[in-house]
Amino acid sequence: RAHPALGWQNLTETTSRIIGGREVRKRTKYPFFVRWGGCGGTLIYPDIVLTAAHCMGEMMNPVIISAHHIGDIIDSEVEKINVFDMVRHPDYKSHTVKHETLGTITVLVNDILLLQLERPASQFNRRALSINTNNKVPV
């Protein structure tokens, strides 16, 4: 349950929300963005997606590549690929704590999950996100 002091609300229906940003007009600007169930992820290799471990639950197939809106799952411009395997960070932990202002909150540690896709993303010339390897340049 969300805390009203943070400006969150409990949503009874699926909605598209952008917080602290603006909507992307051209889907091709971020072709590495994927949707997996109710979570987002990043294509870091043609057949590997980086997402959050707390999203792991029931197998949610398929991954939908370049889906920027909730309605995009039926759009002909997206590519759908099933998940073949998942690897969760070995030290992932999820626990609740009492916070004096916020009440009970969930703390996630090492919230990392890799998804291996059944095949590489290829339709519409998708490309994976380049990872910053220079530790002197912040992301």
Distance CA 10, CA 73 (A): 23
| Residue 96 tokens, joined | 């609740």
Domain count, the chain: 1
Could you tell me the CATH number of the domain that includes residue 97? 2.40.10.10
In a domain, 1, yes or no: no
CB 113 within 8 A of CB 87: yes
98: containing domain: 26-125
Q: Which two tokens stand for residue 37?
A: 């169930």
User: Residue 68 — pLDDT band, cuts 50, 70, 90?
Assistant: low
Give the residue with greater pLDDT, 67 vs 31.
31
What gap in Å lies between CA 15 and CA 37, rounded to an integer? 13
**What's the pLDDT tens digit per position in 75-98?**
666 788 999 999 999 999 988 888
